[in-house]
Structure 1
Amino acid sequence: MNFFDNAGVMAIGTRLRMLSEKLTEDASRIYEMYEVALKPKWFPVFYVLSQNGQKSITTIANEIGHSHPSVSKIVREMVKEGILSEKKDSKDGRKNNIVLTARGKNIANQILEQYHDVEHAVQAMLDQSRHNMWQAIEEFEFLLEQKSMLKRVTEEKKQREALKVQIVNYEPKYHPFFKSINEDWINTHFVMEEADRRSLENPKEYILDKGGDILVALYDGEPAGVCALIKMNDPEYDYELAKMAVSSKAKGKGIGWLLGKAVENQARAMGARKIYLESNTILKPAINLYHKLGFKKVIGHTTPYKRCNIQMELEL
């Protein structure tokens, strides 16, 4: 049974690591064959110094794409072997530069034949390959720079979990959830106010009967989030987006975004031109979501809430 045949492309990290280990093992033997006193992991540091003279550890780390601690450890090992040394920077006495010692320079001359043979051996293998791995690695690295593997998997996770989300209209059976989830987040960050109590105790009277609406997000059939559209008596705004909350158990599944888009579409279907909302900047995930939905900051509107320190609007 072949592990990679079964695991497929999701084992790419394991496969690249095994390939790296195989090449590193051969590299150690190649250094021995040419009697070059280097270890494979030292090569990037040694090469940049042999080509460009003295450099700080930070500069080396940036050039070879390693972390500062990793380069520091390698430099210490090579200093101990007499290949590198540290010297004060001529322009900044507070900074140390790393340089090749006399022994390091001898190795730099000695290794040239090894460079020639290794380069030709690798190029010959690339020429024999159907796909040029060097170019493929460059392309793969570029794609990861644009968007990390973590980000890509996170997006796939959200897309898969979004298929389990259903946005439905409010029914009386959802009232306990609507009330409790909003009370939880308000009491966690602020203090319940009279306007909260009225709308949460009797959403039918204070929201639905006045021309508003409430949407409920179900995840796997269970309530996971809510959001209300409250009809406004305002010449500029038609509805207020309010009482948006997502269960802590359902965080990270894109439910806030799906609720926001559903409320936006509902407001548009109800003839709204602008949606208004009030929030507080300590609720950073919520503020980021509102910006993502297209809301923009506005000022100058009266509010019944002491906790409000930011007001936003969305033109439909």
Structure 2
Amino acid sequence: MNFDKIGPIALGSRLRALSNTVTEDAQQIYHLYDVELKPKWFPIFYFLSTQKTGESITSIANEIGQSHPSVIKIVREMSKAGLVAEKKDKTDGRKNNILLTKKGMDITSKIQTQYTDVESALNDILAQTKHNIWLALQEFEYLLSEKSLFTRVAEQRKIRESSQIEIVDYLPEHHSAFKQLNEDWITNYFKIEEADRKALDNPQEYILEKGGKILVALQNDTILGVCALLKMQDEKYDYELAKMAVSPKARGKGIGLLLGNSIIEKAKSLGASKLYLESNTILKPAISLYGKLGFKKVVGHSTPYERCNIQMELHLK
């Protein structure tokens, strides 16, 4: 397989191929030095050879970065070959420690010349390379420990999908989706209240004609989310951010954040200086989203909703 033609997306396959190549050579090297080891045993063997007393399976797994079941399987193979043995821990009789047998310790002495020659050969290879693979692997492993490849791919997916989403002003043909998305969201956690019914049944009269706005998130003409600005008859606040709902099929695509930022920009364009919203603390993802948008908790404002137990505001100026 031409990995250069495929590119970095074949990283895992290329590393496996390189690992297979090195492992095959390693097996021949053990034979060359008459050392009775298998390449996959080496991490456990080397770790135990540096310990004066035995170590538990958990300690070995943590040290060499392999799974607990994998270490158990290899230890059993090494035990069958006579290289390791189990011994009760002196301070904790419930725990068994793994230690090298006399045969294993003999290999520790015998393998030293192999270590010297292998290290020299590898240093010679590294000296001939423009990019030191050992240092590069350290960097790569560090970056993956900070944020996994899975997380990074999921983030890129969200960015790509978000770039395909269009935020548009509400039109009459969006009414059924606006109503359905909100009804589904509300009834999933609470009950439809009178204030909901007025806004959802007739958004033109109760939101738009009163100076409010509604934004719709579209992807290929499919409505994925909605959000409204309700004009408030209040000296303290200009608009209320309300009726935000995202299709369950689209959650995880960052549509809530995209709608939230868009509705805030819409409020700014209307000259708003302060926004208000109401929610419930059981909706942890929503509360987290509002925090990302810059909303802060406030108290004391009257509300028509039974379900409201948290109120938040955002200063725009």
Which bin holds the TM-score, normalised by the shorter protein? over 0.9
Distance 1:173 1:44, change over 3 A: same
| TM-score, L = length of structure 2 | 0.93
Matches of 1:75 and 1:192, distance apart in 2: 61
Unaligned segments of structure 1, at least 5 residues: none
- What whole-Å deviation, never above 9, does each CA across 1:259-300 have from its counterpart, x for those lacking one? 011011112222323322222333333233222222233334
Q: What is the SS of the residue equivalent to 1:135?
A: helix
Matches of 1:124 and 1:285, distance apart in 2: 54
Matches of 1:223 and 1:203, distance apart in 2: 17
Matches of 2:96 and 2:306, distance apart in 1: 56
Q: 1:1-316 counterparts in 2 under 5 A?
A: 3-53=2-52, 54-316=54-316
Q: What is the SS of the residue equivalent to 1:228?
A: strand
Q: What is the SS of the residue equivalent to 2:37?
A: coil
Q: What is the SS of the residue equivalent to 2:55?
A: coil
Distance 1:87 1:294, change over 3 A: farther
Letter in 2 for 1:200: L
Shift of 1:222: 2.4
Shift of 1:202: 0.8
Matches of 1:16 and 1:224, distance apart in 2: 40
Distance 1:75 1:266, change over 3 A: same
Letter in 2 for 1:52: Q
> Alpha carbon RMSD of aligned pairs, Å?
1.8
Matches of 1:181 and 1:69, distance apart in 2: 46
Letter in 2 for 1:90: K
Distance 1:88 1:256, change over 3 A: same
Shift of 1:134: 0.6
Distance 1:77 1:299, change over 3 A: farther
Matches of 2:182 and 2:264, distance apart in 1: 20
Question: Size of the alignment, in residue pairs?
Answer: 315
| TM-score, L = length of structure 1 | 0.93
Shift of 1:221: 2.8
Moved more, 170-179 or 3-12: 3-12
Distance 1:43 1:158, change over 3 A: same
Shift of 1:161: 1.6
Q: What is the SS of the residue equivalent to 1:52?
A: coil
Shift of 1:254: 1.8
Distance 1:98 1:235, change over 3 A: farther
Distance 1:224 1:86, change over 3 A: same
Matches of 1:163 and 1:98, distance apart in 2: 54
Distance 1:276 1:96, change over 3 A: farther
Moved more, 266-275 or 172-181: 266-275
Q: What is the SS of the residue equivalent to 1:277?
A: strand
Shift of 1:183: 0.9
Moved more, 167-176 or 95-104: 95-104
The runs of at least 4 consecutive aligned structure 1 residues that moved more than 4 Å come to: none
Matched residues, percent identical?
Answer: 61
Letter in 1 for 2:299: I
Distance 1:93 1:314, change over 3 A: farther
Distance 1:95 1:299, change over 3 A: farther
